[in-house]
């Protein structure tokens, strides 16, 4: 597999609507690794890696979000995979 990594910032109404748990379920279903966390400014950050095809599927889901969410924008940076990402997890909110 030719693995890739994305760093995505999701903005809109994405806090308090189960967005992180939605991402966790989607990532688990797709079999990608990485993490998701809320950001102090109201956005959600998703770092994920897997095949480009799987990451594109994840991005489609991020743009929709769970039912209660309203996604305004998803900005994405593509990069090389991180060998230390071997599962998908929830991280604590970052206020930086």
Cα–Cα distance for residue pair 70/35, rounded to 1 Å: 21
The answer to whether residue 92 sits within a structural domain is: no
Q: Please tell me the total count of domains within the chain.
A: 1
Q: In what order do the strands lie in the sheet with 70-79?
A: 70-79, 3-13, 44-51, 33-38, 88-90
What confidence tier does 96 reach under pLDDT thresholds 50, 70, 90?
Answer: low
20 is catalytic: yes
The answer to whether residue 14 sits within a structural domain is: yes
The answer to whether residue 52 sits within a structural domain is: yes
What confidence tens digit (pLDDT) does each residue in 41-58 have?
999 999 999 999 999 999
What is the pTM assigned to this prediction? Answer: 0.95
Range of the domain at 59: 3-81
The answer to whether residue 44 sits within a structural domain is: yes
The answer to whether residue 40 sits within a structural domain is: yes
Given the residues 5, 25, 38, 41, select the one marked as catalytic: 38
What confidence tens digit (pLDDT) does each residue in 9-29 have?
999 999 999 999 999 999 999
The CATH number for 17's domain is 3.30.70.100
7 is catalytic: no
The answer to whether residue 76 sits within a structural domain is: yes
Cα–Cα distance for residue pair 61/20, rounded to 1 Å: 12
Q: How do 3-13 and 44-51 pair as beta strands?
A: antiparallel
């Amino acid at each position: 597999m030719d693995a890739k990594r994305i760093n995505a910032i999701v903005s809109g109404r994405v806090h308090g609507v189960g967005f992180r748990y939605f991402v966790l379920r989607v990532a688990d279903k797709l079999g990608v690794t990485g993490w998701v966390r809320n950001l102090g400014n109201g956005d959600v950050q998703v770092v994920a890696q897997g095949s480009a095809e799987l990451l594109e599927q994840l991005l489609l889901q991020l743009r929709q979000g769970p039912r209660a969410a309203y996604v305004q924008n998803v900005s994405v940076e593509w990069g090389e995979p991180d060998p230390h990402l071997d599962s998908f997890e929830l991280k604590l909110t970052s206020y930086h």
